[in-house]
Amino acid sequence: MRALVVSDIHGNLHALEAVLGVAQDHAGGGFDQVWNLGDVVGYGARPNEVIDLLRPMATIHVRGNHDRVCCGLTSSQGFNPVAAQAAAWTRLHLRPDNREWLRAVPMGPIRASDRAMCAHGSPLHEDQYIASMRDAWTPLQRMETEITFFGHTHVQGGFSQRAHDWAEDRPVYAEPRGNTTEYVTQAVPPGSRHLINPGAVGQPRDGDWRAAFAIYDDVLEEVTFFRTPYDVAAAQAAIREAQLPERLALRLSTGS
C-alpha cells in the first residue's frame, strides 16, 4: 500500500493540483490512498475547490486548527491578525455543504494503517507544534503506533528514535528552491519510531517555495519526501483578486 500524505493545503488549489499530478505520474507507482493531515483551508483563495477535489479522494481526513476556525467550531482567538482575517474571509466564502463537511472532520490522531497514525499538530494534542527534538520526545514515547504523520509547522521532515538513538530527519535536496521536482527517501524499519511531517502543500515555511508532500510505502517500509514546483504566480493572483492580505501572496514566493 502506498499512501500519499498531504498536509496544510490552505486553500492553495494550484499547489494541490501540481502535487496530485506528480504523485500520480512521477512517484514510481502512484498511490493507493490519500491521507489528509488537516488545514485544507485558511490563507489561500480556493477553499471550495480544494475541498471538492480532496474530499472524495482521501481515505483519512484529520481536522486542523484553521479548519476548525474557518467552519465556525471555534473562534480565531489566538490567531495573528493576518490568519484571523483569512479565516473570516474563508468562513464567508465556504459553501454551506463544505462548511458542514469541515465541521464533521474528526480530530486526530486517527489510525491509518497497522503501523501509522495521522495527526494535525501532535499525536497528543491537535494544536501542539512539534518543531524540535525537545517537542518530539514525549510524543515519540507515548504514541500508540511506530509512525505518526503530522503537520501544523509547515516544515518538512521529522524526528526518529531507535533504542537510545535519536535523530532529526530533514530531507536534503540537490537543488533546494530550484525549479525541478526532487525527492528523498527515508527508511522506516520496524522497531524504530518516527514522527514524520510531509511539509505543507500550500504554504511552505522551511525556505523552499515548492509544494511539499510525502508518499509512505508500507511494503518497502519507507517514506519518500517530495518537493515540486507549481504555478505560484497564479496562486498569488487568486489571493490578490480575493483581496486577502498581501503578505499571504508574498510569502508563497519565498516559502517563509
- Does residue 66 sit in helix, strand or coil? helix
Nearer to Zn ion, 8 or 146 (CB): 8
Residues 208, 17 contacting (CB under 8 angstroms): no
Does 39 engage in binding with Zn ion (CB under 5 A)?
Answer: yes
Q: Please identify, among the stretches 6-14, 76-84, 124-132, 187-195, the one whose residues bind Zn ion according to the rule CB under 5 A.
A: 6-14
Does 8 engage in binding with Zn ion (CB under 5 A)?
Answer: yes
Task: Tell the smallest beta-carbon distance from residue 42 to Zn ion (Å).
Answer: 7
Size, binding site for Zn ion by CB under 5 A: 2
Residue with nearest beta carbon to Zn ion = 39
Does 218 engage in binding with Zn ion (CB under 5 A)?
Answer: no
Task: Tell the smallest beta-carbon distance from residue 126 to Zn ion (Å).
Answer: 11
CA distances from 189 to 40, 89, 99, 194, 218 (A): 30, 44, 39, 10, 10
Nearer to Zn ion, 10 or 227 (CB): 10
Query: What does DSSP say about strands 222-228 and 211-217: parallel, antiparallel, or unpaired?
Result: antiparallel
- C-alpha cell read off for 135: 517537542
**For 10-23, b where at least 16 C-beta lie within 10 A, e where not — what string?**
bbbbbbbbbbbebb
| Sheet of strand 193-197, all strands in order from the earlier edge strand to the far edge | 110-111, 116-118, 147-149, 193-197, 157-162, 165-169
Does 126 engage in binding with Zn ion (CB under 5 A)?
Answer: no
Q: Going residue by residue from 59 to 78, which x/- string records binding to Zn ion, judged by CB under 5 A?
A: --------------------
- Residues contributing to the site for Zn ion (CB under 5 A): 8, 39
